[in-house]
Structure 1
Amino acid sequence: MTSFARTDTSVLGRWWWTVDRWTLLALGILIAFGMILTLAASPAAGGRIGLEGFHLAKRQLVLIPVAAAILIGVSLLSVKWVRRLAVIGFLGSLVMLLVTLAFGTEIKGAVRWISIAGFSLQPSEFVKPTFAITAAWMFAAGKEEEGFPGISISILLYLMVAALLLAQPDLGQTVVITAVWGGQFFLAGLPLLLVAGLAIAAVGGIIGAYFLLPHVAARIDGFLDPQAGDRYQVNRSLEAFSNGGLFGTGPGEGSVKNLLPDSHSDFIFAVAGEEFGALVCLFIVALFAVVVLRSMLRLWGEHSLFVLLAASGLIFQFGLQALINMGSTLHLMPTKGMTLPFISYGGSSLLALALGMGMLLALTRKRGALEEDR
């Protein structure tokens, strides 16, 4: 039973009766799974790099209350303030991308992180949700305000973001942002001729990345040819699912976390498969589906083009990121260093996802016809 009555007109009272509580519950359960799996996988990962057993887990657990506060706090905002927050966040993220290229730390041949007060920040994580909202605003303004060059501005912003990400290089984030932006462009009424042109450009970009970026070529070759490239992590991941079966080996009883360098981040789904089994993994997949499908249902009948485009972009981004991580872990697609939302270790990812899902909950809240928050 909730302590909020339907007649409660306080900020929290109005929020409770207008927010999608099923989506909120699904996100809460995903965060709980993230806490459990971080405790299971992080000690082995920390030990491999000379850290105290639960050092990584403690860092992640400290950020979870912060992420929860961001998610709830942002979900309280009106549509107008979601847009303002996203634009400010997007501009700040662009500045941080430039700073990262100039002063960032190089890890595995890529410059994607910058250290701030001992915290390793990945600005590209914050670009994803804030750019989705900003692009939606430009598309909607271009459609609804005669003479406003919203589409042209959105294209220029996209090219700027893509150029900064490829300079790191970070092809995976570029692909996700491109897919989300392209989907929003299509929903905004992109002509079919331009749809075909973007599709051809996307295929050309992937082919170009294959020939220009050695690590991309290695991952694609390893996916297509079992004898090519380094398949160590993928093979161990598949073995983990085989060992776990339906019900798993039991919490803390898995061995894959001791063998996989990225068991706490990119391959944490394999830890879940081994220790908790296929049934729990299917439940995790169902939680992601609940967030995606419930949010889509909340948009049914939405008359604001901006809300429709912005929320759709955040939904697509969330679902696509989860799909890429789980697909890579199961060897259904080439491996890509991308976190499993709210479950993988990673402070920047956790906070950025909380921001994005908070904005999604705010955009999909029930609003009165006379509410002036657009």
Structure 2
Amino acid sequence: MIDRVFSKLKGDRWIWIIVIILSIWSMLAVYSSVGTLAYKNSKGSEVYLIKHTSMIVGGFALMYFSHLLDYRYYAGISKILMIVTIPILLYTLIFGETINDANRWVTIPVINQTFQTSDLAKLALITFLARMLTRKQGNIKDVKKSFIPVMGSVCIIFVLIAWANLSTALMLFGVSILLLIIGRISLKQIALVCVGGGLLLLLVIFVGPRRDTYVSRVNTYMNGGEADPDKSYQADHSKIAIATGGFFGKGPGNSTERNVLPHPYSDFIFAIIVEEYGALGAIVLIALYIVFMYRCIRIVTQSPKAFGALLAAGLGFSLTIQALANMAVAVGLGPVTGVPLPLVSMGGTSILFTSVALGIILSVSRNIEEAKLESNKKVVVGEIPAMG
């Protein structure tokens, strides 16, 4: 039965297994942590579980069809995504839905579903960078032909996202720098990109509409909430959830901090998981993301084409860094941000975009497997002696 299922799923089998485990764990954790939200909106927890499960099923469908498409087609798709992404990000900043003093969401007409446009921008920039770096390998050191187009795309997307979502922009900028290093951009040029990014960061922090929020969060993190305990409320209760979980946890559905923490089903779902499954659960969860990154690195090293290697590296790093950032915030290693835990947090369209990214990685892996099979067939045919 299992072999029959996996025979339909091409690409790295371990990545498929990790995605399935995280998805099941996500349903358990979300169902456990939406009680307060359900009570507030006079709905049953099952309503949110069904909605979340439908998103996971939709994500699996997108992942499956994305991994069937030859990854080389994503080079052309990336151009379309970049052309569409920049106007959408501008539209979001001006007309987007304002939640927690940030314009990050756009409502899709007819279905009345909101989605965070930075999720689309991450996918667009990483695939576009992979394409650009592959196409420019012949004159990669040329400032006019290679450096300026690459730097321009990174900085434009960075500013448009950072204006309303600084944490996501910083992570995406970090992933972009990693891709530039892998893509053989010179260290001098990378340093210039970092300087340019730093100047843009200062512009966003001191001139942007959320400057007071950024300063407040950093001050709260540095001072531990001594000046204003209300501002450290989320971080404090996240630590309480983690501390009371012990090694084996309180058991699924037995969290108490889920009734106190804001957004326990998204931003702080890791704290709820540790409270219910203990340090053992945290170790297993972290191990799953580390193994996922290891499998992505294997795909990078085995890919015969630069574009496939850069795609797997960029998307793999993006998802892993996001996961580590979410967990770091939950344990108090960083200021509070609104970064979800990939494939685990409840978050409609973020699950769908994450699934597409995973599908692209699996497409690269599938191509490697098919190339190996083709190579083996040629070797076997070549060994058969000629008849007559």
Q: Structure 1-normalised TM-score?
A: 0.89
Q: AA paired with 1:106?
A: T
- Larger displacement relative to structure 2 (123-132 or 143-152): 143-152
Query: Which residue of structure 1 aligns with residue 156 of structure 2?
Result: 160
Whole-Å separation in 2 of the counterparts to 1:32 and 1:150: 44
Structure 1 segment 66-215 matched on structure 2, within 5 A: 66-116=58-108, 117-144=111-138, 149-167=145-163, 169-212=164-207, 213-215=211-213
Query: Paired residue for 1:343?
Result: 344
Amino acid at match of 1:218: S
Contact 1:43 1:56 in 2 (8 A): no
Task: Give the equivalent residue in structure 2 for 1:225.
Answer: 223
- Cα distance in 1, alignment partners of residues 87 and 35 from structure 2: 34
Contact 2:162 2:170 in 1 (8 A): no
**RMSD of aligned alpha carbons:** 2.4
Deviation string, structure 1 residues 141-163 (Cα, Å, up to 9, x no partner): 11137999344322222222123
| In 2: Cα distance, 1:244 partner to 1:267 partner | 14
Question: Which whole-Å CA distance do the structure 1 matches of 2:181 and 2:135 have between them?
Answer: 15
Unpaired runs of at least 5, structure 1: 5-11
Taking structure 1 as reference, are residues 358 and 77 closer, same or farther at Cα in structure 2, changes over 3 Å only? same
Q: How far is the alpha carbon of 1:369 from its aligned partner? A: 7.3
Q: In the TM superposition, what is the alpha-carbon distance from 1:100 to its structure 2 partner?
A: 2.1
Distance 2:206 2:93 in 1: 23
CA distance in 2, matches of 1:27, 1:71: 10
- Please give the secondary structure, in 2, of the residue aligned with 1:364: helix
Write the distance in 2 (CA, Å) between the matches of 1:164 and 1:209: 10
| Correspondence list, 1:282-293, <5 A | 282-293=283-294
- Which residue identity lines up with residue 135 of structure 2 in the other structure? A
Per-residue deviation at 1:312?
0.9
SS of the aligned residue for 1:263 comes to: coil
Residues 211-242 of structure 1: CA distance to partner in whole angstroms, max 9, x if unpaired?
44111111111111111451101110100011
Q: Confirm or deny: 8 A CA contact 1:45 1:264 kept in the other structure.
A: no
Per-residue CA shift, 1:160-209, capped at 9, x if unaligned? 21232234x11112112211111111111122222333344445555555
Within 5 Å, give how 1:23-38 maps onto structure 2: 23-38=15-30
Q: Which amino acid aligns with 2:65?
A: G
Q: Give the direction of change, closer, same or farther, for the CA distance of 1:48–1:201 in structure 2 (3 Å limit).
A: farther
Aligned AA (2:188): L
Distance 1:300 1:231, change over 3 A: same
**Residues 211 and 49 of structure 1: is their aligned pair in 2 closer, same or farther, counting only changes over 3 Å?**
farther
Residue of structure 2 in register with 1:362 after alignment? 363
The structure carrying a bigger helix percent of its residues is: 2
Aligned residues: 361
Task: State the match for 2:13 in structure 1.
Answer: 21
- Residues 294-305 of structure 1 mapped to structure 2, 5 A cutoff: 294-305=295-306
Does the C-alpha gap of structure 1 residues 34 and 252 become closer, same or farther in structure 2, counting only changes over 3 Å? Answer: same
- Specify the code of the residue in structure 2 equivalent to 1:152: I
1:45 alignment partner in structure 2: 37
Are 2:263 and 1:262 equivalent residues in the alignment?
Answer: yes
Please report how far the alpha carbon of residue 68 of structure 1 lies from its aligned counterpart in structure 2 after TM superposition. Answer: 0.5
Q: 1:330 to 1:209 in 2, by over 3 A?
A: farther
Q: State yes or no: 1:314 paired with 2:310.
A: no
SS state at 2:3 partner: coil
Secondary structure in structure 2 of the residue aligned to 1:231 = helix
| 1:299/1:308 contact within 8 Å kept | yes
Q: State the secondary structure of the residue aligned to 1:70.
A: helix
Q: Radius of gyration: which is bigger?
A: 2
SS of the residue aligned with 1:351? helix
Q: Could you tell me the percent identity over the aligned residues?
A: 25
